[in-house]
Structure 1
Amino acid sequence: MSNFTVWKTADPASAGKISAEIIAKTVIAKPDCLLGLATGSTPVPIYKELVAQHKKSNLDFSKVRTVNLDEYVGLSAEHPQSYHHFMMSNFFDHINIDLQNTRIPDGMAADLSAFCDQYEQQITNWGGIDLQLLGIGLNGHIGFNEPASVFTRRTHLTDLTESTRKANQRFFNSLDEVPRQAITMGIGTIMTARKILLVCTGIKKAEILERTFFGPIDPMVPASVLQFHQNVTVVADEAALKTILQKHPEFSA
């Protein structure tokens, strides 16, 4: 991991604070930056800390633009488990961002393929992503780029694996309610970001984090492609780093 900056933290809350500080520095340095944002459990402490900085230190989001990684197909923006709803309730409702400067994939689009093309064009029109926030799935997915025979390139429609659906079942009443498809930025789109911030917490992620950075670059472990990126910061708690520290005693964070 010599090409990566790694921050080791005590717990998810600490990881959230460090990650938020990294994002805040990007916003301060470039007030109209384009942030690539993520959803799920991992980013919640990050957004909470950014909201706190906005309220306490007047961190200004008025010119910031954002694009989200993904959205479930078939869920309206008002659905409580949609990523539109997640972003509003956890972040956008609490800061001074102009919602006209935010983009989240539309899982209800009449023509999903055309929408994916438009999403890519919007990122290009805005000058590319300055900082992309990522979590990582238990199977190594980033965004909803699932294990596959090749690395996907552009924003696209994807089928969710059963392991991903089961991992997300906790947010729904039953597995049957978990959507089977999603729109996601492609690996190629993610890799165009000028900087990537990967946040990983919890013992369940320890094995896949080690495979991501110390295993072969393999589309069956989608996150392993990050070994090719020249500007990756990893923020991980002690639990998530456990396998790396056990298998690679020469590594220190």
Structure 2
Amino acid sequence: MEVVILPGSKQIGKLAADAIEALLQRKPHAVLGLATGSSPVPVYDELAARHGRGLDFGAAHAFALDEYVGLAPGHRESYREVIMREFAGRVNIRTENVHTPDGAAADIPAECQAYEDTMKAAGGVDLQILGVGTDGHIGFNEPGSSLASRTRIKTLIEQTRRDNARFFGSLADVPHHVLTQGLGTILEARHVVLVATGAQKSRAVRDFVEGAVSAICPASVLQFHPHATVLVDEAAASSLRLADFYRHTYDHKPAWQGL
């Protein structure tokens, strides 16, 4: 796991976009994994700006991490709508190449399996963007999730619903259930780039980077990933015991190594 500490979200967005641009240049039909929430927004802003300067997404595919269950089609806070608004609608990726789980499916287990099958048929995720919750969840894999879990339905804990209430206007409007890629599914991405900013994420960052691998902190499973990159600002890095080591390592990284 590589930890990179940067001054702020703008620098994080640029570095993550560098990795995605390099991927698309060597593999135009790359498969991107997309997260929602506030953390990835600087990455999407930077990618949209680079598309304006010629970065081509025309052959790429994208898969969302998760989706709410029970929202009406076209609901502003459905994750398909969020991804279209924050990313896909700002670049030239084909709409039919943007995939999200169907939270309105009549047969939820069949939909979850179909989503896994579609990802596999596309060749698997090349680069997965992640955020992390204040309790260490990634995707909607809440504390206690199986480290080998696959795409499935999950019940949100109240902390996650409170964290997301700002998007809905009130806690009562936040759904209780979601479909989410499992931790085992996320681990199959060839490169994982997790973004975390702000002091409210510092404990979660410390726990999943330097703590024990445990279901109580789902993001800690990334310690098992062969190519996981963690991009954090100074506030999110404030609880890391080895922060100076991470800074030294990045400052002296061979230029040819990339992200």
The aligned counterpart of 2:220 is: 224
* Structure 2 segments unaligned to the other structure (5+ residues): 248-259
The aligned counterpart of 1:154 is: 150
Instruction: Tell me, in whole angstroms, the C-alpha distance in 1 between the residues paired with 2:142 and 2:55.
Output: 35
User: Percent of aligned pairs with the same residue?
Assistant: 44
- Check if 1:29 corresponds to 2:26: yes
**8 Å CA contact retained: 2:5, 2:246:** no
In the TM superposition, structure 1's runs of 4+ consecutive aligned residues that sit over 3 Å from their partners are none
- Check if 1:76 corresponds to 2:79: no
Counting only pairs closer than 5 Å after superposition, residues 171-250 of structure 1 correspond to structure 2 as: 171-244=167-240, 247-248=241-242
Q: Per-residue CA shift, 1:83-122, capped at 9, x if unaligned?
A: 1111111111111111111101111111111100100000
Counting only pairs closer than 5 Å after superposition, residues 17-166 of structure 1 correspond to structure 2 as: 17-56=14-53, 58-148=54-144, 150-166=146-162
Instruction: Tell me, in whole angstroms, the C-alpha distance in 1 between the residues paired with 2:45 and 2:206.
Output: 28
Q: Per-residue CA shift, 1:67-97, capped at 9, x if unaligned?
A: 1100111113411111111111111111111
The aligned counterpart of 1:13 is: 10
The aligned counterpart of 1:251 is: 245
Instruction: Tell me, in whole angstroms, the C-alpha distance in 2 between the residues paired with 1:90 and 1:49.
Output: 11
**8 Å CA contact retained: 1:72, 1:181:** yes
TM-score normalised by the chain length of structure 1: 0.94
Alpha-carbon distance change, 114 to 93 in structure 1, aligned in 2, over 3 angstroms = same
Measure how far apart 1:7 and its partner are. Answer: 2.1
* Structure 1 segments unaligned to the other structure (5+ residues): none
**8 Å CA contact retained: 2:9, 2:197:** yes
Instruction: Tell me, in whole angstroms, the C-alpha distance in 1 between the residues paired with 2:49 and 2:243.
Output: 37
Alpha-carbon distance change, 77 to 19 in structure 1, aligned in 2, over 3 angstroms = farther
Amino acid across the alignment from 2:23: T
Aligned residue pairs, count: 247
**SS class of match (1:36):** strand
